[in-house]
Amino acid sequence: MPIAALVRLLVIYQHAPTPGAPGIYRHRMLLAELVRRGWHVDLVSSPINYMDGSVPERYRDATCVREEIDGITHHWVQATDDIQRSFKRRARNYVTFAWNATLRGMRLQRPDIVWASSPPLSVATAGRWVARRHRVPLALEVRDLWPESAAVVGLLSADSAPYKVIERFARTYARAADLTLVPTPGLVELMQGHGSSEVTLVTGAIEDRPPADDVRARWRERLGVPDEACLFAYVGAHGVVNGLDVLFDAIELVRADADGWPDVRIVTAGSGSATAALTARLAERPIAGLEVLGPIPKEDARDLLAGADVGLHLLRPDPVFASALPTKVLEYLGCHLPFITTVPGLPGEVAAATGGDLAPDAGQLADALRRWAQRSPEQRRTTGDLAFAWGETRYGLASSVDTLEAALRSTIAAGRGAGKRRSKHMQAEPDTNQG
């Protein structure tokens, strides 16, 4: 039976930002392009801001709010808020969202396929139940490997009972999914190791957002940054794992130069679990030339990047991050910015290929800040344009959605349970290459 032109996709993704909320969000870009191609997309999400736990007033008292954004039908359901207060409260947030998302998803018109995006892993539970209810295939997206990534950020101990329970669930969901989607190359092999039989790589996508001269001038005037000065920008989560303390250490090293320091200006935007500690540090040891803005809406974030010269990608070095292609990196490239990363592996390789730098510790980061500050505005701008050109040829929106759409349509055509049938066939197939 041929698939109808209008295909219905139901996505469960907990952390979609509400209009005006901070954050860089690849899903809305991909899903909006599917809508333009004739798909109907329902997205079940939570209005709670994952950075600070706040809920916009419009969504605060409603059980569910339905609205259209970029052609996508959003369904905002409630969950436990104030997630920064404690780990227990965050865990309750995951469970309550999964429950309410399951109820909402089961009540929606039958989709052709369900797409559940993890982490948190509880979203996979919701996706599995909703797919069963509608008797349709399940696509499981794994953006970070759980429980491994939870151990990296200190939420779980690798030898704890909760870790082992979550690991069993993760492998069960991987084997049960009809399609597994991953945003970065290193996760393909890891998910196959978890038992996924059909893994498709769908990276984030680059949108061309060259800096407008008037926007650039306005932001630099607001921040008090002269035209010739080099403005470095970090836009994203301020969590413990992001390692902004390493950035602060690097700026202090630059400021301590005996021969005088170049005109280095830094701006950060965002919030997270480390915000209080970082604020306390700056209160005790202020850093000249550093501006901390807190969370800002996405469009303001892009305008801020128009005023910047170099982007900063900050994470504590860990093997889990070495194979990742972060959305933040693609956002920098789309805004025609070269970037400095603290992460070896794929992020470092992309930085080098686009004229940026790998600086995994405070000393090397300080050196990179000095080098960029000593270059002319024209050199920085030219490098940014070349960085965009490199990224656009590899991570353009059209090619990313071509891959995504083909994988979804193929899974719909194969039907529910195709992933398990493929897995069973692969296990039963005899080895004909034995010598």
First and final C-alpha spacing in the chain: 43
Confidence of residue 308 (pLDDT cuts 50, 70, 90): very high
pLDDT (mean) for 126-133: 96
Backbone phi, psi, residue 138, to 5°:
-115, 125
**What is the structure's pLDDT at 344?**
93
**What is the structure's pLDDT at 425?**
36
**What is the structure's pLDDT at 434?**
34
CATH number of this structure's domain 213-395, picked from the four choices 3.40.50.2000, 3.30.420.40, 3.40.50.620, 3.40.50.720: 3.40.50.2000
**What is the structure's pLDDT at 154?**
66
pLDDT (mean) for 184-188: 82
**290 or 145, higher pLDDT:** 290
Distance CA 419, CA 41 (A): 23
Q: 147-151: long-range contacts at Cβ-Cβ below 8 A with a sequence spacing of 24 or more?
A: 147/121, 148/320, 149/119, 149/320, 150/119
**Is the pLDDT assigned to residue 430 strictly greater than 50?**
no
CATH number of this structure's domain 8-205+397-428, picked from the four choices 3.40.50.12280, 3.90.550.10, 3.40.50.2000, 3.20.20.10: 3.40.50.2000
**What is the structure's pLDDT at 260?**
60
**What is the structure's pLDDT at 223?**
94
Question: Is residue 186 within 8 Å of 350, Cβ to Cβ?
Answer: no
User: What pTM was estimated for this model as a whole?
Assistant: 0.74
Question: Is residue 93 within 8 Å of 48, Cβ to Cβ?
Answer: yes
**What is the structure's pLDDT at 2?**
46
**What is the structure's pLDDT at 24?**
61
pLDDT (mean) for 244-259: 88
**100 or 425, higher pLDDT:** 100
pLDDT (mean) for 73-80: 93
**What is the structure's pLDDT at 419?**
47
Residue range(s) occupied by CATH 3.40.50.2000 in the chain: 8-205+397-428, 213-395
pLDDT digit string (tens) for 47-63? 988 767 778 888 988 89
**259 or 80, higher pLDDT:** 80
pLDDT (mean) for 320-337: 88
Confidence of residue 84 (pLDDT cuts 50, 70, 90): low
**Is the pLDDT assigned to residue 435 strictly greater than 50?**
no
Which residues, 6 or more positions from 232, have their beta carbon under 8 angstroms from its beta carbon?
264, 265, 266, 267, 308, 309, 310, 311, 312, 340, 369, 372
Look at 45-54, 167-176, 180-189 and tell me which has the smallest mean pLDDT.
45-54
Look at 140-144, 259-263, 296-300 and tell me which has the smallest mean pLDDT.
259-263
Distances (CA, A) of 271 to 229, 237, 430: 26, 5, 53
- Specify the amino acid at residue 181: L
Confidence of residue 261 (pLDDT cuts 50, 70, 90): low
